[in-house]
Amino acid sequence: MKIGRETTPKTAISTSNADTIVVRGKDLCQDLIGQTSFTDYFLFLLTGQAADETRRRVLDATLVAIAEHGLVPSVQAARMTYAAAPDALQGAVAAGILGCGSVILGASETAGVLLDDIARQVDDGKSLDAAALETVKTLRAERKPIPGYGHPLHKARDPRVNALFSTAREAGADMRYVEIAEAVEKAIPQVIGKDLKLNVSAAIPAVLLGAGFPVKALKGVPILARTASLIAHMLEESEQPCGFALSYQATQNLDYTGAVPAGYKG
């Protein structure tokens, strides 16, 4: 059954023959292996362009910033999966990555879209403060969260935010999106009556967009970074297991609210 117009698959990323593997027009063995870092290679895969120092430093910083934050839900899911299936590391890592959504870990994408939309409003002639305020009002009226703002632990501004902003500034990135992110932070209490400070999920797109990173690839950054961290957790899980302990702890403060048969004692 034909779906859509195209019938022949097309890609500009890679091809190969018996002797050569081509990646974005480069010979993998001659031009890339041993001559490029993984961060540079990731950027090259995405864009087909060699990384400059600004993009390299900013992307490196964001990958380090979001890779690890303790036994968060993605790590718990992965560890419990590994405990049940230690022969399937890939399944455990996948279980953790599947939790990269709009609420936790994956909010960099939705925050990036928000910042990009405000940038477009400013380009069309609206003042930055007005665009930020109107955007927050719209989200509030629609009862939608403001992605990248507020954190259950870091009630003051997430400490990773200033570290990323400083790195981007030192690397020579365009700070326009940082200014937009801070304008939104300033507008929030005017609309909802309380502060919601910037967290890492808004800081990541703020610095990456300023370094020319593509909006549509933003969610890939926390996915890539957390994959590395999850592999480390799986290695530790194999040597110092806590997956079943996490499962046990989840049942200790559980209130069952359903019906029970006569005579049942919990």
- Strand ordering across the sheet containing 14-16: 14-16, 21-23, 26-27
CA distances from 256 to 132, 134, 179, 250, 265 (A): 44, 43, 47, 13, 12
Look at residue 1 and tell me whether its pLDDT is greater than 90.
Answer: no
Find out whether 36 and 44 touch, Cβ atoms under 8 Å.
yes
Give the pLDDT band of residue 102 (cuts 50, 70, 90): confident
111/14 Cα distance (integer angstroms): 31
DSSP character at residue 137: H
Find out whether 86 and 93 touch, Cβ atoms under 8 Å.
no
Mean pLDDT for the chain?
96
Find out whether 129 and 118 touch, Cβ atoms under 8 Å.
no
Find out whether 208 and 222 touch, Cβ atoms under 8 Å.
no
Q: Which of 37-41, 118-122, 250-254 has the lowest mean pLDDT?
A: 250-254
Find out whether 217 and 120 touch, Cβ atoms under 8 Å.
no
**181 CA to centre of own chain:** 16
Region of residue 156 (phi > 0: left; psi between -120 and 50: alpha; otherwise: beta): beta
- Chain segment 195-225, per-residue pLDDT in tens: 999 999 999 999 999 999 999 999 999 999 9
**141 CA to centre of own chain:** 26
Q: Name the token pair of 180.
A: 């937009």
DSSP H or E segment with residue 23: strand 21-23
Specify the pLDDT at position 210.
98
How much is the pTM?
0.94
- In the chain, what are the domains? 20-51 (no CATH), 52-239 (1.10.230.10)
Coil vs helix vs strand at 21: strand
